[in-house]
Amino acid sequence: MSIKIGILGLGTVGCGVVQVLQQNAKDIQTRTHCDLQIKAILDRDLHRERDVNGDFLLTDQPDEVLHDPEIDIIVEVMGGIEPARTFILDALKHGKNVVTANKDLIAVHGHELLDAANEAGKDLYFEASVGGGIPIIAALKESLSANKITHLLGIINGTTNYILTAMAEQGREYAEVLAEAQQLGYAEANPSSDVDGLDAARKLAILASIAFNSRVALNDVFVEGISKITREDLTYAAELGCTIKLLAVAKHQDEGIEVRVHPAILPLTHPLASVNGVFNAIYVVGDAVGETMFYGRGAGSLPTGSAIVSDIMRIARNLKSNSMSSINCTCYLDLPLKSSSDFYTAFYIRLLVKDEPRVLATLALLFAEANISFASIIQKQRGKDQAEIVLVTHPCREGALQEALDSVKAYSKVLSIDNVIRFEKDYPES
Residues annotated as binding site for NADP(+)? 8-15
C-beta of 31 vs 380, nearer to a second copy:
31
Annotated binding residues for L-homoserine, written as ranges, equal 188
CA distances from 129 to 86, 100, 186, 196, 206 (A): 18, 7, 18, 19, 9
Minimum distance, C-beta of residue 50 to a second copy, in the bound complex (Å): 18
The residues of the shown chain that bind a second copy, judged by CB under 8 A, are 16, 19-20, 23-24, 27-28, 30-31, 127, 132-135, 138-139, 142-148, 213, 271, 274, 279, 281, 286-297, 300, 302-303, 305-310, 312-314, 317-318, 320-324, 326-327, 330, 332
Name the nearest CA neighbour of 230 among 307, 276, 168.
168
CA distances from 393 to 66, 233, 345, 421 (A): 56, 16, 9, 11
The phi and psi torsions of 199 (rounded to 5 degrees) equal -60, -45
Minimum distance, C-beta of residue 413 to a second copy, in the bound complex (Å): 42
Neighbours of 315 (CB within 10 A): 27
In terms of phi and psi (left: phi > 0; alpha: psi -120 to 50; beta: otherwise), the region of 124 is: beta
- Could you give the 3-state DSSP secondary structure of residue 158? helix
Minimum distance, C-beta of residue 277 to a second copy, in the bound complex (Å): 11
C-beta of 41 vs 138, nearer to a second copy:
138
Residues tagged active-site:
203
Output the CA torsion sign for 160, 162, 166, 168: positive
**Torsion (CA) 202, 205, 208, 214 in degrees, nearest 10:** -160
CB 312, CB 96: distance < 8 Å: no
C-beta of 132 vs 225, nearer to a second copy:
132
Minimum distance, C-beta of residue 88 to a second copy, in the bound complex (Å): 21
C-beta of 154 vs 191, nearer to a second copy:
154
Name the nearest CA neighbour of 342 among 264, 263, 406, 260.
260
Annotated binding residues for NADPH, written as ranges, equal 103
- What's 291's DSSP letter? E
Minimum distance, C-beta of residue 427 to a second copy, in the bound complex (Å): 13
C-beta of 45 vs 119, nearer to a second copy:
119
